[in-house]
Structure 1
C-alpha cells in the first residue's frame, strides 16, 4: 500500500472511531459501569474449573436473579445500554453453569456420601 493510501486509511479509521462522540461516551458511567461490572462474569467463568464444593448455592441464585434484573434494566433505559446487557448475559450463563455444578454435586451426584466417608 502506498504511503498516501495508508495515511488516508489511518485518517479514516481515526475519524470513524476516535472522535468527540466516542471520547464523550468513554467518560460516562454508561460505559464504565458495565466495564467494571465485567469482573463478576470473569470471576464466575474462572471459577467453573474450581471444586464444586466451594460454590455457594444462595449466592449463585442471587447472582442469577441480579443479572436477570439488570439485563432488563439495560434495555429499559434510554439510550439502551448494550454493553451492560452483554455483561449480564455473560454473567447469567456463567452463573447458571455454576448452579448446575452446585446442584449436581450436592443433590444429583450418586456416591457423594461414599467419597466423604472414605476420606474421613
Structure 2
C-alpha cells in the first residue's frame, strides 16, 4: 500500500499549484498520515453533531465521556509534538466540544428525572 500511495503522491505532485505548495510540502501536509488521520476523524464530529437531535435518554454517557476525554488529551498532544499539527488540534477540540455538549444534555436529562420523582 505504501508503494501505491507514494506513486499517487508522485503523480499528483506535478499538478499542485504553486499557491498550495506550502501546504503540500508541510511536514503535516497531505503527503503524510499527519494530515489524513485528522481528516477522517472529522467523521466523529459529524456523528456527534448528528446526535444533537437524538433524545437525551438514548445518549451513551460512557461513550460521550471517553470521546470528550480523548478529544481533550489529543488536543493537548497535537500542540506539543513537532511539527505542531493544527488540523489534529482543531478536530480534537470539536470532538471534545460536541461530546461535552452531549454530556451536558444527558446530565440535564438525569436531573429532570430526579425532579420528576420528587
Q: TM-score, normalised by structure 2?
A: 0.75
Structure 1, gaps ≥5 residues long: 1-12, 114-120
Give the 4+ runs in structure 1 shifted more than 2 A: 107-111
Q: Quote the Cα distance in structure 1 between the aligned partners of 2:96 and 2:22.
A: 34
1:47 Cα deviation from its structure 2 partner: 0.5
The 3 A distance-change label for structure 1 pair 103 and 20 is: closer
Structure 2, gaps ≥5 residues long: 1-15
Residue matched to 1:80:
84
1:74 Cα deviation from its structure 2 partner: 0.5
Alignment size in residue pairs = 99
Q: Quote the Cα distance in structure 2 between the aligned partners of 1:81 and 1:99.
A: 27
1:14 Cα deviation from its structure 2 partner: 2.6
Q: Are residues 1:60 and 2:53 paired?
A: no
Higher radius of gyration, 1 or 2:
1
Per-residue CA deviation, residues 22-81 of structure 1 (Å, 9 max, x unaligned), is 167212111001001111111001111111111011111111111111001100110000
1:107 Cα deviation from its structure 2 partner: 2.4
Q: TM-score, normalised by structure 1?
A: 0.74
Q: Are residues 1:16 and 2:16 paired?
A: no
